[in-house]
Structure 1
Amino acid sequence: MHVLMVAAENDALPGAKVGGVADVVRDAPKALAKHGVSVDVVIPDYGFEPLNRHYIGEVTVAFNAQSHVMTLFKVDQTKNNITQIVISHPMFSDSGSVYCNDAPGRPFATDATKFALFNAAVCEALLQGLLKRPSTLHLHDWHSACVAVLLKFEPRYSALHDIHLAYTVHNLALQGIRPFKHDESSLEAWFPSLSYNGQHLCDPRYANCFNPMRSAINLADKIHLVSPTYSQEVLKPSNYNDGFFGGEGLEQDLQNAANQGKVVGILNGCEYPALEVANAVMDELYNEAEKSLFAWMSNSEQLESVHYIAHQRLKQFKATPNNGPIVTSVGRLTEQKVLLLCQPLNGELAIDAVCNSINEQGGRLIILGSGDKALEALFTKAMARNENLLFLKGYAQRVGDLMYQLGDLFLMPSSFEPCGISQMLAMRAGQPCLVHSVGGLKDTVKHNQNGFSFNGATLREQTHTLLSCLTETLAFYKQHPKKWQQIKSNAKAVRFSWSQVASDYISTLYR
């Protein structure tokens, strides 16, 4: 069996990681290779760092009324049945980042054009034999969806029609929607001669718009959601007033696919390296955090208030011994991750109530992450109000690793979570998690067994149950140290193996 994976991210290559999809595209091929599957992985060449490239060939595609020449390179990391491939073009590397932020009113415009061109190159390379014809073409998220559109509707690629298409939805909230026409970033601008069935491709809410995510869901042979629970949640419509995030407008298409036996829910895996772990101490975490703060400060001539307050808080933490629980949180600052912490609660925000609850046990809350500017500002102000909160705006691998190792409780109150990796990393390090029982969090964290969870039928109820669960959990931590140690041991012992994921891919997704 030979699989070709097409994605926007791949953490096997330097600089090509933004989110969790990069971890999957890095790790899944290694597990598949151990099952005897050969895997090629292709992403755009973002040009971040010099790669040891080996020339494969060039393809020319008609795109946006112009001929574009793109070059395929094999990266010198080929091993264990896995070949890493990049496709080079100025449009992929000139921006200096994997994703671009467009002006308000034109969401995804730059990225949608970039990835549509990349997808066209993949199809042409398959046709010309520069990419080996796979038994399964595995597409990841909306960024690769135009591959399915071109293979199904472009007569030039009719010889590739019968390739088995597997499509993984990593995050249904991001769909890459663009107009069908009348815009330089639109389906008909990219591929003016394409004859397509608009009923398969249009957005269900905006009939004049092309929805890449919906297109791939309707055109693929198998649709993969990255946890069993999430694969059921997406069959129901979202209800934001009640705090439920489901099919995001695509629930009818997913229901139709499920009725045809095309929807598969397979939990992502986690790697469990044999680590020689030295016993880390809090001073090490504080010192690494300070190094990271200085590095972030140096990136701008103007000192950001968030870094100044964090440094003052860090000095306070270092100078004052702490005997209470250390609660940690690592992740992108997005509405998905922290909506519940931003809800009003008894005249304050939930984040303040969380800090108060932790403070009652003499504990501290450390948050590492960046993202939405408004949320960054909200957490900066919360840090200024709460002396036991340290908010580190940025990401540093070593700081995150130490937080997983040294934290007593990992907080992950996501409003929805297709799979989640942070909770797996915390559990791997022996840190129990307190999570909202949705999606992959429900499939990985079992209440009072290897962690703690809460739920609620509305946003208000979820906010209240989050706080009550946290208060009860911190009391349990203090009053039942032996039972707490057992929960820590249970968390550390759980295995979400990539080997099992690969086996499930082969038996259900690739057939």
Structure 2
Amino acid sequence: MKIYHLSTECYPVAKVGGLADVVGALPKYQNKIKDIDAKVVMPWYNKHYVQEHDFEIVFDGFIHQADRLLQVLILKEKKITLGFELYLVKIPGLLDRDNPYGYQDESFQFLAFQQGILHWMTAMKIRPDVLHCHDYHTGLVPFMIDNCPEFGFLKGVKTIATIHNGEYQGIMSWSMVNYLPAFEHHKWGLLDWNGNINPLACMIKCATAFSTVSEGYLEELFVSFRGLESLVRDEFSKAYGIINGIDNEVWNPETDSMLDFNYSIKDVHSIKAKNKAQLCKEYNLDPKLPLFAFIGRFAIEKGADLLPDVVWRSIKQSYGRLNIIVLGSGNTYLEEKLKELDTVYSNFALDIGYKEHLSHQIYASADFLLMPSRVEPCGLNQMYAMRYGTVPVVSYTGGLKDTVKDVSTGGSGINFTYPGVQDVIHAITRALGLYQQEQTMKDLIISNMKFDFAWEKSAQKYLTLYKM
């Protein structure tokens, strides 16, 4: 079975969020299953990974976007270093940039990305068994292969769509229709939602089946989906919730090369303390105090707007009996507010940016991980935290409620219902009480590190979905 994963992100080539971790791990674990050949196709980026590895051009062609003729290059990595074949789509002027997102012409980018893939496959007579489309950036692929005569060779190929974050839908005005390949015009309704072209809605309508990255998130979409609630209810017969896994070959405290000190369940308490001491020394924090961490984008859906109030109020109310470290970026206003607090409180440390190695070090050092998310389709951070012996403190939403039960019911972390400052402060207070119960805390850490979030189970569930 030949499976092509289509995505704008893939770790370690280019990462913005959890999408990259999923696409960088799922095909690798699928390839461990007999008779499965999973590959990844993504845009070309001016990134270290691309510069440091060898690629060869396996296709050179052209596509039309309205009156524009665009060159399409397909580059294949010469060695299979990630556990799967990796293909990069390079289109000069559109897909040859430093980062996946943030450009004003991103609608043109993603249209060209999708059209380029299908043009390459059609020209080279590559007919996959499954095209696995990840998020709205590839949402028009199921429509194009069945309704654009140019791609008639691919008509009928099974398409599986995965919604990693339904907050982003790629909505475009109908003026963009001129930049799509020619299609059967009586099928325009498949593209439309509320008077606009909506790639995510189109993906749900046209894909053979679609999945979300947790069962809890699927349930939420039926009632809260930024205007697509009725659509997902109409299409519920082909909807599936499959929780993400984590790559235990990357996220393993015993072998993680990014850590100062490696450890296992047997020596977690003594060695994790050494990592904590090293991190606290670097950021001038007191290693004797409980350490809370936030890692992620400074986005509203992540609850990052709560951080400034949470930091100063928790330090004040605890009389300075805790440390907080924040790693992230994405909102300049929040960055400035947190920088101000960093100059005031010695109990608070801030590092702006995306730093993979530092995130690993924080998971291996912190006592608690804060996730005050308003929206969390799956969440991987809580799984990484548990794997590294850090207790998650999370809002009860999406994939978080699937993976973290409250300690009061024998669970693995601390839940709070409403993502607001007061609820987060209350959860931190509970965590401080838990921290004082030394043996209970030790038992919880050991129990959490035994949780199996490996990709093997989820990979098998996707295989079942492919075969349906």
TM over 0.5: yes
**Deviation of 1:26 (Å):** 0.8
**Deviation of 1:428 (Å):** 0.6
Q: Which residue of 2 aligns with 1:262?
A: 238
Distance 2:179 2:2 in 1: 33
Distance 1:216 1:193 in 2: 16
Q: 394-403 or 429-438, which moves further after superposition?
A: 394-403
Q: Which residue of 2 aligns with 1:334?
A: 299
Q: Is the 8 A contact 1:231 1:264 kept in 2?
A: yes
- The answer to whether the aligner puts 1:253 opposite 2:231 as a matched pair is yes
CA distance 1:202–1:93, change in 2 (3 Å): closer
Q: Which residue of 2 aligns with 1:242?
A: none
Distance 1:471 1:7 in 2: 40
- The answer to whether the aligner puts 1:200 opposite 2:190 as a matched pair is yes
- The answer to whether the aligner puts 1:466 opposite 2:419 as a matched pair is no
CA distance 1:180–1:168, change in 2 (3 Å): same
Distance 2:83 2:297 in 1: 33
Q: Is the 8 A contact 1:409 1:433 kept in 2?
A: yes
**Deviation of 1:473 (Å):** 2.0
Distance 2:178 2:312 in 1: 49
Mapping for residues 372-411 of structure 1, pairs under 5 Å: 372-411=331-370
**Deviation of 1:94 (Å):** 4.1
Distance 1:488 1:211 in 2: 44
CA distance 1:231–1:468, change in 2 (3 Å): same
Q: Which residue of 2 aligns with 1:9?
A: 9
Q: Which residue of 2 aligns with 1:187?
A: 177
Gaps of 5+ in 1: 103-109, 237-245, 290-313, 344-348
Partner letter of residue 328 of structure 1? A
Q: Is the 8 A contact 1:361 1:474 kept in 2?
A: no
Distance 1:339 1:393 in 2: 13
Q: Which residue of 1 aligns with 2:267?
A: none
1:65 to 50, 64, 67: 67
**Aligned-residue RMSD, C-alpha:** 2.2
Distance 1:391 1:18 in 2: 19
Distance 1:81 1:473 in 2: 39
Distance 2:167 2:439 in 1: 41
Distance 1:81 1:327 in 2: 35
SS at 2:364 equivalent: helix
Q: Which residue of 2 aligns with 1:346?
A: none
Q: Is the 8 A contact 1:325 1:361 kept in 2?
A: no
Q: Which residue of 1 aligns with 2:198?
A: 211
Distance 2:197 2:163 in 1: 17
CA distance 1:93–1:197, change in 2 (3 Å): closer
Deviations 1:374-393 (A, max 9, x none): 22123223334544221211
Q: Which residue of 2 aligns with 1:84?
A: 86
Distance 1:39 1:451 in 2: 35
CA distance 1:66–1:25, change in 2 (3 Å): same
Partner letter of residue 496 of structure 1? F
Q: Which residue of 2 aligns with 1:45?
A: 44
TM superposition score normalised by structure 2? 0.89
SS at 1:285 equivalent: helix
Distance 1:85 1:394 in 2: 28
CA distance 1:342–1:101, change in 2 (3 Å): farther
**Deviation of 1:267 (Å):** 0.6
SS at 1:91 equivalent: coil
- The answer to whether the aligner puts 1:118 opposite 2:93 as a matched pair is no
- The answer to whether the aligner puts 1:439 opposite 2:401 as a matched pair is no
**Deviation of 1:453 (Å):** 0.7
**Deviation of 1:434 (Å):** 0.4
Partner letter of residue 395 of structure 2? H
Identity %, equivalent residues: 24
SS at 1:90 equivalent: coil
Q: Is the 8 A contact 2:44 2:96 kept in 1?
A: no
Q: Which residue of 1 aligns with 2:131?
A: 137
Q: Is the 8 A contact 1:323 1:362 kept in 2?
A: no
Distance 1:350 1:329 in 2: 11
Q: Which residue of 2 aligns with 1:234?
A: 221
Q: Which residue of 2 aligns with 1:33?
A: 31
Q: Which residue of 1 aligns with 2:259?
A: none
Q: Which residue of 1 aligns with 2:77?
A: 75
Deviations 1:452-509 (A, max 9, x none): 11113xx6xx44332222212211211x211111111111111111000110001125
Q: Which residue of 2 aligns with 1:304?
A: none
- The answer to whether the aligner puts 1:154 opposite 2:148 as a matched pair is yes
Partner letter of residue 483 of structure 1? T
Q: Is the 8 A contact 1:122 1:147 kept in 2?
A: no
1:323 to 285, 288, 293: 288
Deviations 1:373-429 (A, max 9, x none): 122123223334544221211232222212111111111111110111111111110
SS at 1:415 equivalent: coil
Distance 1:367 1:201 in 2: 41
Gaps of 5+ in 2: 256-261, 264-270
Distance 1:190 1:361 in 2: 58
SS at 2:62 equivalent: strand
Distance 2:178 2:123 in 1: 24
Distance 2:377 2:118 in 1: 29
Corresponding pairs, count:
443
SS at 2:185 equivalent: coil
TM superposition score normalised by structure 1? 0.81
Deviations 1:299-320 (A, max 9, x none): xxxxxxxxxxxxxxx45x3xxx
Distance 2:112 2:417 in 1: 43
Partner letter of residue 6 of structure 1? L
Distance 2:435 2:320 in 1: 10
**Deviation of 1:283 (Å):** 4.6
Q: Is the 8 A contact 1:324 1:361 kept in 2?
A: no
**Deviation of 1:4 (Å):** 0.9
Q: Is the 8 A contact 2:149 2:182 kept in 1?
A: no
Q: Which residue of 2 aligns with 1:272?
A: 248
SS at 2:405 equivalent: coil
Q: Is the 8 A contact 2:142 2:206 kept in 1?
A: yes
Distance 1:32 1:407 in 2: 32
